[in-house]
Structure 1
Amino acid sequence: MAKIFIETERLILREIITEDAEAFFAMDSNPEVVKYVGTKPLTHISQSVEMIENIRNQYTENRIGRWAAINKEDGKLVGWSGLKLIKEINNHKNIHDLGYRFTPEYWGKGYATETSIAVLNYAFNEMKLDQVFAYADVENDASNHVLRKLGFEEKGTFIDEGDNCFWYQLKKENFTK
């Protein structure tokens, strides 16, 4: 049974498990879903299985990783949201990065904001973090809108996987959700 970390009004955020591979493959094989993430659409379910193994290793090694977002109404995996410890990025070391990804049928429903608020509350209140970082492709208007709405402060741009990205920081004292 997958460990549940957080429940929001509409979603359950739980650990990602091997049984999620089909849903992850359906999401990450869609070119629109991965358009701004610096990777090509997946072509085989084994790639999803490998990704899930990597995330599960992060749970053990870093005590944190992205979580599956499950719709309470029908039990379907609608995407993922959560924190990831990144060892080095944009001249920063050992930072906690907020990220999220959802299948297109769930876009525009506020799930990124809903899960991010819950994850940030977890980060600041349970993990006792002082700050959380995030980044998004400069052309990803939806994701940049969510991060700004959450109170993240834009700190500049950098190149990640060949893409120009905004770099964001949110300090605990500036989080008011």
Structure 2
Amino acid sequence: MRVFLETDRLVLRPFTRDDVDRLLALDNDPDVMRFIDGGRPTSREAILERILPRLLHNHPCFGTRGYRAAQEKDTEVFLGWFEFRPLNEDKPAVVELGYRLNKAAWGRGYATEGARALIDKGFTQFGVERVTANTMAVNRASRRVMEKSGLSFLRNYTGDWPEVIPGSEHGEVEYELTRAEWERR
């Protein structure tokens, strides 16, 4: 197994085609997907044809992928994934941070631990100038992870989403952390 990043309790590694069943289980938990698509089931075909190719995509400016499978270090149990991908394929200046973890991992600090490690790696090794993250305004748990990871509230906004899901009437929020703010810490 190739390791991209290791923390005290996590290993972040590249996704492989062998992760299909893990992704299927993750994306078919209505609680996990509540703020993504309202908890609708995801088909195996969608995982294979749409989701896995996105997770396997290499970004030229990083020379690596923007999504990583997250495993518990001691047990190698799949916990979910982290996103740390450039918004522009050719420039590493602005990256989006994201995470999707299974319920067993919630409330244990894994999301914050992984996010902080990715942020540090981005600013020290990839030439990142700004990290951005967003979620539904009502997703308090995800917002708290962003704050604990060092990001600050930037703005509320509303998107033109194809489907309304519970809570979407409150809009979305964006958080950010710049290199200058990170260096001051």
TM-score interval, smaller chain: 0.7 to 0.9
- TM-score where L is the length of structure 1: 0.86
Counterpart code for 1:73: D
Counterpart code for 1:84: R
Unmatched 5+ residue regions in structure 2?
none
Counterparts of 1:82-161 in structure 2, within 5 Å, are 82-87=83-88, 95-160=94-159, 161=161
- TM-score where L is the length of structure 2: 0.83
Root-mean-square deviation (Å): 2.1
Counterpart code for 1:5: F
Unmatched 5+ residue regions in structure 1?
88-93
d(CA) in 2 for partners of 1:142 and 1:117? 16
Q: Runs (4+) of structure 1 moved beyond 4 Å?
A: none
Q: In the TM superposition, what whole-angstrom CA distance separates every residue of 1:15-64 from its partner, at most 9, and x where no partner exists?
A: 1111111011101011110111246533322222231112212x155643
Shift of 1:128: 1.5
d(CA) in 2 for partners of 1:29 and 1:140? 19
Q: In the TM superposition, what whole-angstrom CA distance separates every residue of 1:64-114 from its partner, at most 9, and x where no partner exists?
A: 311000112221211101312335xxxxxx841000010001100100000
Greater displacement, 159-168 / 115-124: 159-168
Give the conservation status (yes or no) of the 8 Å contact 2:10–2:71. yes
d(CA) in 2 for partners of 1:20 and 1:55? 10
> SS at the partner of 2:127?
coil
Structure with higher strand content: 1
Task: Say whether residues 1:165 and 2:160 are aligned partners.
Answer: no
Aligned to 2:53: 53
The number of residues matched between the two structures is: 170
Q: Give the % identical residues.
A: 25
